[in-house]
Amino acid sequence: MASIKKLNNRKYKITVSNGYRPDGRKICRSKTIQVPKSVAPRGIQQYVAHEAEELERTFRDGYSEQAETPFGEYARRWMARQHHLKPSTVANYRLMLEACCEVIGKIPLCKLRPLTIENLVEQLRQRTTRTGKPLCENTVRKYLSAVSAVLSDAKRNELIAHNPARMVSLPPLERPRQAIPTMEEMRSFLTAAMEEPLVYRVYFFMDLMTAARRGELCALTWADITEHTITISKSRSYVKGMGLVTGTTKNGRARVLSNCELLVSLLNGLRMSYEWNGITVTPQTPVFLNRQGKPLNPDTFSRRIRKVYDRCGLSEQYHLHTLRHFAATLWLQSSISKQVVADALGHGDTAFLERTYCHPQLESKQQAAQKSMQLVQSNTNLINRAKGVEQCLSIW
């Protein structure tokens, strides 16, 4: 407990004790405060009590969090407490918050207003990427979400009454439509993929057959693969300053996928190629390695597939994740249960699957139109009436 000694009407000495030294003496810290003249006489006691509480918290915990704490300082402390997040997520938060702190880092939490955050958003829109392109609106919103997460934590700890980041008015954001290759385009891609080095060929075919995420395939070891099953339990990503980091899957759960004869044959060929090149393969060896026997960076496959798409003359909208979308669409249109597809993709339920991975292809739309036309043609009375209406209109 803190002891308070009144020195004069507006001057007080606060002493806080925190245990004893080995020789029996108390460990104390004192602070003399001057109550500002802006504080009314009836509020002096409350002001002094608050200062005593803050001094006690600082002495025992090492620091004090209060509304006057600059946003940058509070964001740094908030980052240090995010042990439950994946390393890649923490790294992304850190990069985004560092950029935001260049603008609002020195502003106290209590002085942040929606207008301040709106000015931050405008400055973020003027930033450019490494290629010189301005940040897209979706990326700007990610930066704003990082700021909002910090301010929500400050609100939860009762340092601020409201989260100003949630009061910012943003223009409506049109969700980008995922482009899906046609069957003819996919056949063209598979033909081009056959010309790729074996490690890329196996990766692309495996991605198409399993619809696994990029990092999940990169984290596979030979122990995860049997003649009949593939177990997805880990994910690997590249974190700046840390290199390749292995963590859990996106939802933290493992799943078992079915293996097929073609994929088994491809994987056996890949394993033999490693052994021929002097790379020792054990059950814990990653499946996808470079020529030096080191795990491949997931970004390598994203860059490589773009080159394959370019050779085929396919759309620039296609990327590595397109294979996952195509596989999910193909399964759904083949009348495979939504629950089975959701489980194979690693989703907790079918709601996200239906919102994100249901991409009707042109062939399916043509079949739907054909069905409707057959229904109309089967009704001769309806056709005769339509012809009668057409004749009447021609007379008018």
Residues in Cβ contact with 350 at an 8 Å cutoff, skipping those fewer than 6 apart: 338, 339, 341, 342
pLDDT at position 392, please? 46
**CA 204/CA 318 separation, integer angstroms:** 14
User: Checking DSSP bridges between strand 243-247 and strand 11-20, what pairing results, if any?
Assistant: unpaired
198, 205 in Cβ contact below 8 A?
no
CATH number corresponding to 71-167:
1.10.150.130
Q: Output the six-digit token pair for 177.
A: 């439509």
Q: Which of 202, 184, 181 is nearest to 193 (CA)?
A: 202
pLDDT at position 395, please? 46
Residue at 391: amino acid letter: Q
Q: What angle do CA 309, 313, 317 make, to 5 degrees?
A: 60
pLDDT at position 393, please? 44
Phi, psi of 131 (to 5 degrees): -85, 0
Helix (H, G, I), strand (E, B) or coil at 116: helix
- 183-356 folds as hpI Integrase; Chain A (1.10.443)
Q: Output the six-digit token pair for 384.
A: 């005769």
Residue ranges of the domains in the chain? 2-61, 71-167, 183-356, 364-395
**CA 218/CA 220 separation, integer angstroms:** 6
Number of other residues whose CB lies within 10 A of the CB of residue 270 = 20
Residues of the chain with pLDDT under 50: 362, 365, 376, 382-383, 386, 389, 392-393, 395-396
Residue at 19: amino acid letter: G
pLDDT at position 65, please? 61
Phi, psi of 231 (to 5 degrees): -100, 120
